[in-house]
Amino acid sequence: MSGKDLNIVGYQYNYPKLFIKPPNGDEIDAETITSGLHFLDDDSDPILTTTYTTDTGADGSVYSTSQISKNVINARFYLPKCQFKLERK
């Protein structure tokens, strides 16, 4: 079977997306901020805070709650080189 005999239908790439929520606004796709902007990936380390309670009748601690705190996300974007002309006034 050669490559021209293959008919791949419905294959879709799942590109990463980054949504930004400005204060008092709705979430927007980061790629819609300016034309040609492409989100590549990000680095983030979510801060997970777990709380345990002690029970005098049991040995050790008992899980109580978990909470994800706010954290910093370092995002990488690609913006193709554009040509523009600076004018002095």
In a domain, 50, yes or no: yes
**pLDDT for res 82:** 67
45-86 tens-digit pLDDT: 888 888 888 877 767 788 888 888 888 889 898 888 766 666
> By residue range, what is the domain housing residue 50?
19-78
Contact between 43 and 61 (Cβ < 8 Å): no
**pLDDT for res 1:** 47
Q: How many domains does the chain have?
A: 1
pTM recorded for the entire structure? 0.52
Contact between 80 and 37 (Cβ < 8 Å): no
Place of tokens 């309670």: 53
In a domain, 14, yes or no: no
12-58 tens-digit pLDDT: 556 788 888 888 999 999 888 888 888 888 888 888 888 888 877 76
In a domain, 33, yes or no: yes
What is the spatial distance between Cα 40 and Cα 17, in angstroms, rounded to a whole number? Answer: 8
In a domain, 6, yes or no: no
**pLDDT for res 18:** 87
**pLDDT for res 89:** 67
